[in-house]
Structure 1
Amino acid sequence: MAPRVLVSDKLSETAVQIFRDRGVEVDFQPDLGKDKDKLLEVIGQYDGLAIRSATKVTEKIIEAATNLKVIGRAGIGVDNVDIPAASKKGIIVMNTPFGNSITTAEHAIALMFAVARQLPAADASTQAGKWEKNRFMGVEITGKTLGVIGCGNIGSIVATRGVGLKMRVVAFDPFLSAERAAELGIEKVELDDLFKRADFITLHTPMTDKTRGIINAEAIAKMKDGVRIINCARGGLVVEADLAEGIKSGKVAGAGVDVFETEPAKDSVLFGLDNVVCTPHLGASTTEAQENVALQVAEQMSDYLIRGAVTNAINMPSITAEEAPKLTPFVKLADILGSFAGQATENAIKKVEITYDGHVAGMNTRALTSAVLAGLIRSQVADVNMVSAPIMVKERGIQLTESRRDKSGIFDGYIMLSVTTEKQTRSVAGTCFSDGKPRFIQIKGIGLEAEVGENMIYCTNDDTPGVIGFLGNTLGEAGVNIANFQLGRSAKGGDAIALLYVDGPVSDEILAKVQASDKINTAKYLKFAVAAE
């Protein structure tokens, strides 16, 4: 029996035909995604669901999707899919991470020109029969400084376009290396320096806890008078009320806004303000981009449903059916090791070294490396997957080395990750036991054996008395229960580490108390995508 796919958003007829040509039965209902009750009623009939942004695949929808095997998002953003719920039910979520890059970059450049020369207002005035030549005094792009926040796939395209426009381009991106910046012809800077220097600021970073509200009143206060701000990335990156106040005060000379905190944006504090150019999330809206991502998602979903091939999956590595039972636990381990390093690292990464030891060296290390890199980058780039992660690492000029060796310790096989920044090298190693669960076995060259929990605290300290008691008392007073507490040290009285698996999230306030102690050198709260016990 042929697999059935529901297309609930507007995909092209060519994309729909790809499903048919590959032997997939297609139900093309491009407006169904807007009717959540109807979608809930029918979703159980389908093996695949192809969507754009209009369809919201909630936990409730996924619960009703009794036969669903794959969700394909034509585009990069998967904010409209409950990925944890899909993963828990074994549903693969795919996207098309690079189909919209040029289109979005070009829209950012178009908005920059529109804001610089007040084009929409000038057009409306002229078409209304006015001739207000003196009213619309613009500024030149040439010779100005363009600040790019986020220099990944889209940001790097914008940066090179800026260079081509004879602008001085500065970029902030924690994963951008000095070498990659030099290759692009731009300057890598810290965020405050970018705020201070840029005449135009354009955002191309994903939405994470670190980037949410990155443009707020405090940030605007650090900027040049007369700065112009462009956002074609995610609405929540900019605090709209703060931007509106900046424009009203004259601190911000103009803004180009394609994305909003709430969409569709029927009302906004930005509407009606002078020299604010607003568009309805058009970043990916070109004929070429829409066609490209639609064709890609149809091909990917068909390949999976007919042949079992997995491509561009958010929550599933590219693994063959034969190797899956042995490899899958180590893929999870690899992602966790990368996530540990990514969350613990604050400076730009220059080099990544991955060592596969013992029987792990004979596995599909390409999938393992992709999993390591996806975990490493995810703290900064939420939409990364195992396919896009190696490309992103290469784009950022990060040096990657892999090595395999025979069994060299007490474990039959393990993975070691070493990450080098401009300031230090950090290493972490782990393995999987017979139960398939990942374990940390070494951090910073210090041996320990620690199970991985959803919520963990990692501390470095000097090997002196009182650390255990301090951590236990501090967390106990805050109502945080410790499920597991593992310690390690390099030598008596030397460097030491503590790794705590706790039963719930750790607030910034609690973490600050730990960090403030003279017994603790560093402390970080780490969160991992594993099921809580």
Structure 2
Amino acid sequence: MAPRVLISDELSPAAVQIFRDRGVEVDYQPRLGKDKDALLAAIPAYDGLAIRSATKVTEKLIAAATNLKVIGRAGIGVDNVDIPAASRRGIIVMNTPFGNSITTAEHAIAMMMAVARQIPEANASTHAGKWEKSRFMGVEITGKTLGVIGAGNIGSIVCDRARGLKMKVIAYDPFLSEERATELQVEKVSLDDLLARADFITLHVPLTDQTRNILSAEAIARTKPGVRIINCARGGLVDEAALAEALKAGHVAGAAFDVFEVEPATESPLFGLPNVVVTPHLGASTTEAQENVALQIAEQMSDYLLTGAVSNALNMPSVTAEEARIMGPWIRLAGHLGHFVGQMTDEPIKAINVLYDGIAAGMNTAALSSAVIAGIMRRVNPDVNLVSAPVIARERGIHVSTTRQDQSGIFEGYIKVTVATDLRERSVAGTVFSDGKPRFIQIKGINVDAEIGAHMVYTTNEDVPGIIGALGQTMGANGVNIANFTLGRSTRGGEAIAILYVDDPVPEAVLDQLRATGLFQQVKALRFDVA
């Protein structure tokens, strides 16, 4: 029986034809995604679900999708898909990470031009039969400083286009190396420096806990008077109410927004303000981009449903079925190792080395390395996957190397990840035990045996009495239950670490209590996806 795919959002007719030409039965119902109840009733009949942004793939929908094997998102953002729920059900989630890049970058440039010359307001005035030439005094962009927040795939294209317009480009990106900045011909700066110097600011980062309200009221207050702010990335990156106040006060001269914290955006503090250009999330809305992502997702989903081939998946590597069976636990380990160092490293990473020992050295190390890189970058880019991770690393000028060696210790095999920044090197190693569960076995050269849980706390300290008591007493007093407690030290009286696996997230106030004891050099909460 031919596999069945439901397309529940608007998608190019060419994509529908690709499914049919490949022998996949396809139902094109572009309005179904907006009818939650109807979609819930229909979904059990399908092997694949192709969507854009309108369909919300919730845990409830996934639970009802008893035959679903793959979800394909035509585009990069997957905020509308519950990926952990899909992973638990064994459903692959695919996206098309690079299909919209040029289109979105061009829209950002167009929005910058529009707000610089007040084009939408001048257009409306002229259509109304007015001739208000003196009212619409714009500014040139030639010679102005553009501050780019996020110099990844889209941001780097914006940098290139802006340089062509004779702008001076400065960029803030935690993963941008000096080498990559030189290649882009931009100046790498801190966020504070960018805010103080930029005449125009454009954002090109995903929405994460770290980037939410990156342009807060306080950050906006530190911007250069007369700045113009462009957001064609994600709603929630800018405090819209604070920006509206800054516009009214005249500190910010203009804003151009394609995305909003709540979408569809029927109201916003920015609406109705002079010299504010707004569009309804049109960044990917060009004929070329719509065709590209639609054709790509149709091909990817057909490949998987007909042959088992996996590409651009966010929740599994691009490996064969046999490799996936053997490597599954090791891929999870590689992701955890990368995510550990990613959460521990704030400064730009220059190099990543992955050492494979014993049986790990004989596996598909390309897939394992991709899992490591994806884990490292997931803190700042939740949309990264095992296919796009190496590309993103190259874009940021991060040198990735691997080392293989024969079994060298008591473990049948292990993986060790080392990252280098301008300030330090940080390393973590792990293995997979016979029960199939990944473990951390070494951190900063200190041997440990730590089970990996969803919520963990990591501390460093001098090897002195009282550490265990301080940790246990503080957690107990705040109702935090410890599932597993691991200690390690370099030498007696030397450097020591502790890793706590706890049942629930630890509030920052509890971590502050530990810091206030003066016993710890570092206290950090860590989060791992162990679904």
After TM superposition, the score normalised by the length of structure 2 is 0.99
Equivalent runs, 1:221-232 vs 2, <5 Å: 221-232=221-232
Give the secondary-structure state (helix, strand or coil) at the position aligned to 1:270: coil
Equivalent runs, 1:28-47 vs 2, <5 Å: 28-47=28-47
Deviations 1:319-366 (A, max 9, x none): 211222221100000000000000010100011010000111000101
Output the amino acid matched with 1:87: S
In 1, Cα distance between the equivalents of 2:236 and 2:384?
Answer: 19
Query: Which residue is equivalent to 1:317?
Result: 317
Query: Which residue is equivalent to 2:295?
Result: 295
Output the amino acid matched with 1:231: N
Output the amino acid matched with 1:195: L
The structural deviation recorded for 1:170 is 0.8
The structural deviation recorded for 1:515 is 2.5
Deviations 1:442-464 (A, max 9, x none): 00011011100100011111111
Query: Which residue is equivalent to 1:18?
Result: 18
Output the amino acid matched with 1:146: L
Equivalent runs, 1:350-361 vs 2, <5 Å: 350-361=350-361
In 1, Cα distance between the equivalents of 2:282 and 2:238?
Answer: 17
Q: Does 1:2 align with 2:2?
A: yes
The structural deviation recorded for 1:517 is 2.8
Give the secondary-structure state (helix, strand or coil) at the position aligned to 2:428: strand
Structure 1 unaligned residues grouped into runs of 5+: none
Query: Which residue is equivalent to 2:237?
Result: 237
In 2, Cα distance between the equivalents of 1:216 and 1:339?
Answer: 27
Output the amino acid matched with 1:163: R
Query: Which residue is equivalent to 1:74?
Result: 74
Distance 1:487 1:241, change over 3 A: same
Give the secondary-structure state (helix, strand or coil) at the position aligned to 2:514: helix
In 1, Cα distance between the equivalents of 2:201 and 2:497?
Answer: 41
Q: Does 1:128 align with 2:128?
A: yes
Query: Which residue is equivalent to 1:369?
Result: 369
Query: Which residue is equivalent to 2:427?
Result: 427
In 2, Cα distance between the equivalents of 1:49 and 1:502?
Answer: 36
Give the secondary-structure state (helix, strand or coil) at the position aligned to 1:114: helix
In 1, Cα distance between the equivalents of 2:90 and 2:404?
Answer: 31
Query: Which residue is equivalent to 2:170?
Result: 170
In 2, Cα distance between the equivalents of 1:245 and 1:336?
Answer: 42
In 1, Cα distance between the equivalents of 2:262 and 2:166?
Answer: 35
Distance 1:219 1:383, change over 3 A: same
Q: Does 1:286 align with 2:283?
A: no
In 2, Cα distance between the equivalents of 1:292 and 1:479?
Answer: 52
Query: Which residue is equivalent to 1:476?
Result: 476
Q: Does 1:186 align with 2:186?
A: yes
Equivalent runs, 1:404-443 vs 2, <5 Å: 404-443=404-443
The structural deviation recorded for 1:166 is 1.1
Deviations 1:82-125 (A, max 9, x none): 11111111110000000000000000000000000000001111
Query: Which residue is equivalent to 1:155?
Result: 155
Deviations 1:281-330 (A, max 9, x none): 00000000000000000000000000000000011111211222221100
Query: Which residue is equivalent to 2:402?
Result: 402
Output the amino acid matched with 2:476: G
Give the secondary-structure state (helix, strand or coil) at the position aligned to 2:265: coil
In 1, Cα distance between the equivalents of 2:436 and 2:344?
Answer: 25
In 2, Cα distance between the equivalents of 1:379 and 1:260?
Answer: 22
Give the secondary-structure state (helix, strand or coil) at the position aligned to 1:323: helix
The structural deviation recorded for 1:54 is 0.8
The structural deviation recorded for 1:510 is 1.3
The structural deviation recorded for 1:34 is 1.1
Q: Does 1:499 align with 2:499?
A: yes
Structure 2 unaligned residues grouped into runs of 5+: none
Give the secondary-structure state (helix, strand or coil) at the position aligned to 1:264: coil
In 2, Cα distance between the equivalents of 1:104 and 1:516?
Answer: 46
Output the amino acid matched with 2:177: S
Equivalent runs, 1:460-471 vs 2, <5 Å: 460-471=460-471
In 2, Cα distance between the equivalents of 1:204 and 1:40?
Answer: 34
In 2, Cα distance between the equivalents of 1:295 and 1:408?
Answer: 48
Query: Which residue is equivalent to 2:201?
Result: 201
In 2, Cα distance between the equivalents of 1:462 and 1:368?
Answer: 34
In 2, Cα distance between the equivalents of 1:85 and 1:362?
Answer: 32
After TM superposition, the score normalised by the length of structure 1 is 0.99
Give the secondary-structure state (helix, strand or coil) at the position aligned to 2:321: coil
Output the amino acid matched with 1:233: A
Give the secondary-structure state (helix, strand or coil) at the position aligned to 1:43: helix
Deviations 1:366-395 (A, max 9, x none): 110010000000000010000010000000
In 2, Cα distance between the equivalents of 1:65 and 1:115?
Answer: 45
Structure 1's consecutive aligned runs of 4 or more residues displaced over 3 angstroms after TM superposition are none
Give the secondary-structure state (helix, strand or coil) at the position aligned to 2:471: helix
In 2, Cα distance between the equivalents of 1:222 and 1:402?
Answer: 43
Output the amino acid matched with 1:336: H
